[in-house]
Amino acid sequence: HTEALLSSLGFERVEFFNLTLAEDISLSDEVANGRLSGELLKVAMSGEEVARYRIAGVRDHCRILQRMRGKGTMIGIFEDDLILPGSIEHASSRIKEALLALPEDADLLYLEFCGETCSLLRYWTERQRLARGFSPKCSGSIIFTETGIVRAERLICSSASDAIDIMYGDLILRSELRAYLTIPPVFYQDQHWGSNSWTRPREVHRSACSAVEDHVDPDAHRRKTVTRPHNAN
């Protein structure tokens, strides 16, 4: 499904890879080796199983970013539960439009997000379908620019502090990463599969952003895909 969906939208070189398994992660080793910090360090030291899933998710993103660093291309990292609210043609047009309108300072482009604060987004009259992110959550569909790959790899991979989407959101909040959002999102995540670190089904947000930022559970640890975005020209 995911390969067919992304290919039909014009993405090139859709690749799947094996995920890091949570059961293969030793929390004691992670703590002892100094690879954790912040909230994730506290959770790992308490022995909570959720820490393994969060660490695994960060590792998978880092593996892709490290592999693609210096390749001279943009990439997208996608989860495999994405759905479209409309037609393939409309989604493809919106992605191309967003890539063409993307400012030069962009690190990330969110095609799917949740838990954002609408009132704190920054809009432009000439970019009505694109907004500067404040602190988006969820990481089901993110495109990384060349500079974004380098910055995200440097900031994320030295020390894991939380679930991957929370880490990105915190970095964006502190302006260490610049993110832009497609308004409304191009993709949504299928609620059937759930969206927390235990992959338990739950209710999803009715809207991608709200007047007051909602609490968002960590993203599910699912199969990821890495692609090269289509040419926007």
Taking only the tens place, the pLDDT of each residue in 177-229 is 999 999 999 999 876 655 544 444 444 444 576 654 433 333 333 344 555 55
Total structural domains within the chain: 1
217 located within any domain: yes
pLDDT of 106 higher than 60 = yes
Q: Is the pLDDT of residue 73 over 70?
A: yes
DSSP 172-200: HHTTSS-EEEESS-S-EE-GGG--STT--
Query: Which pLDDT band holds residue 34 (cuts at 50, 70, 90)?
Result: very high
Share of the chain above pLDDT 70, in %: 82
Q: Is 211 exposed, middle or buried (0-12, 13-18, 19+ CB in 10 A)?
A: exposed
User: CA–CA separation, 189 vs 195, rounded Å?
Assistant: 8
pTM listed for this prediction: 0.84
Share the mean pLDDT of the chain: 85
| Average pLDDT over every residue of 26-50 | 92
What mean pLDDT is predicted for residues 55-74? 94
> Quick one: pLDDT band at residue 118, thresholds 50, 70, 90?
confident
Tokens at 150, concatenated? 């380098």
Range of the domain at 216: 2-228
- pLDDT at position 104 over 80: yes
Q: Does 233 map to a domain? A: no
| 210 or 33, higher pLDDT | 33
- Domain for residue 14, yes or no? yes
Residue 172 CA to residue 165 CA, distance in Å, equals 11
Helix axes 38-45, 50-68, angle to 10 degrees: 140
Is a pLDDT exceeding 80 seen at residue 47?
Answer: yes
Helix 146-156 with 164-173: angle, nearest 10 deg: 110
Contact indicator for 180, 204 with CB cutoff of 8 Å: no
Q: Is residue 9 part of a domain?
A: yes
